[in-house]
Amino acid sequence: MNSKETSKKKKKKKKATVSAVLNDRSLFAADYHRPSLRLFNQHCDHVMNKYGLQQHHARGKVEEIIPHSNHVKVNIGGNWVTAENIVLCLGSDDPKVPEWIEELPFPLRHVLDTTKKDGPDETQSKVCVIIGGGISAVHKALHLIAADATSTVVVHIISRHSLREQQFDTNQDWMMDAYNAQRSIAKGGKGYPDRVKEFQQQPCPNQRRAIIRRERVPGTIPTALSRGKGGLQEAIRKGSIQWHVGEVERCETNWMESSTITDLLLSTGDTISNVDTVIAATGFGTNAPGQAIIQDLSARYNLSLSPCGYPLVNDNLQWQGHSRIFCAGALAELELGPSARNLAGARMSSERIVATVDAGAIRQ
């Protein structure tokens, strides 16, 4: 057997091995070869151990950022840290809640707000209402019925729309990074898809924001969560979850001597009685994440903001006005597009920031 045939045989064997691993349902799901939670956690642990990330992790609140020409100083709870560059990768901190919550006799919880600890244990609820029809609402509903050992809880999901299935919250075109665009061109393809090129060629931040709104599809859930074993539709058939298309028009509370009875009246004419827990899965407002610190930095150091209040960054994700401050995630979406907030956006952010730092493209 000559070297050419040996090489072909090795490639064929490697391909068969990869195929066998990808088809192992204990490791990957059938749709898009999504890794299992166990495999994903193992991968994260491996990366953290490999690069010693735990030793470089500090928990605290950033109180002030002072950029200089050759470094940036960060105040973390009174302790100052000096860095060559910083990356602002802030999560949304503006939970959106319905106006009628003031009528509730008990605290409303927001599914993405970890700061509110008061109120009864939601896993002990008997009639729970979740406002919102997206993946967070469904995950929370399934979690609550799974945590109910007596199988007596009924979870009501109130959504403005019927159940909407979609694998991703944006078209997959938006997930292509520069590396894969170059691979596409090298193999005779066109590189970035047309919709990405349209976005990149648009100089107006208002028009870019309009494209992001058009292309992002909120309030959807993946098919596996909807139709899979132990998923939403199975719970609806069993009666554990009830899906209401409508809105809460008002809340009525009857005050008894030793308890209260709360009913929610819906726009459909239906009434959900004896509600003891309300959870908002309504996402966040439209303000930029970390609004206070973003506005402060912009005002004090003349860093550019778009009309919508988000940082204006260059191709390298450097905030216009200071080359040592990078933005990632949602804060970089006017450059990266509608997938900036998800894992694909994290990959694209990392790709650009690392390339810039490695190339030494930092103004002194």
pLDDT at res. 259: 73
pLDDT at res. 117: 55
Residue 115 confidence class, pLDDT cut points 50, 70, 90: low
pLDDT at 153 over 50: yes
The pLDDT tens digits of the residues spanning 184-201 come to 999 999 999 999 999 999
pLDDT at 69 over 80: yes
For residue 54, count other CB atoms closer than 10 A to its CB.
Answer: 8
Can you spell out the DSSP letters for 118-163? -SS-GGG-SEEEEE--SHHHHHHHHHHHHH-TTS--EEEEEESS--
Q: What percentage of the chain reaches a pLDDT higher than 70?
A: 89
Quote the tokens at residue 315: 């191709």
pLDDT at 114 over 80: no
Helix segments in 76-229, DSSP class H: 135-147, 178-186, 194-200, 205-215, 223-227
pLDDT at res. 364: 47
Mean pLDDT in the chain?
Answer: 88
SS3 165: strand
Looking at residues 237-259, what average pLDDT do you find?
A: 88
Cβ contact 192:176 at 8 Å: yes
Read off φ and ψ for residue 5, nearest 5 degrees: -65, -40
Residue 5 confidence class, pLDDT cut points 50, 70, 90: low
Quote the tokens at residue 327: 């933005």
Gap between the terminal Cα atoms of the chain? 59
The bridge status of strand 271-272 relative to strand 72-76 is unpaired
Q: What percentage of the chain reaches a pLDDT higher than 90?
A: 64
Only one residue has tokens 């072909």, namely 8
pLDDT at res. 102: 81
Residue 261 confidence class, pLDDT cut points 50, 70, 90: confident
The pLDDT tens digits of the residues spanning 300-341 come to 999 999 999 999 999 999 999 999 999 999 999 999 999 999
| Alpha-carbon span 93 to 114, nearest angstrom | 10
Least confident of 61-70, 171-180, 254-263, 345-354: 254-263
The pLDDT tens digits of the residues spanning 33-55 come to 788 888 999 999 999 999 999 99
| Alpha-carbon span 116 to 337, nearest angstrom | 32
The pLDDT tens digits of the residues spanning 71-110 come to 999 999 999 999 999 999 998 888 888 888 888 888 888 8
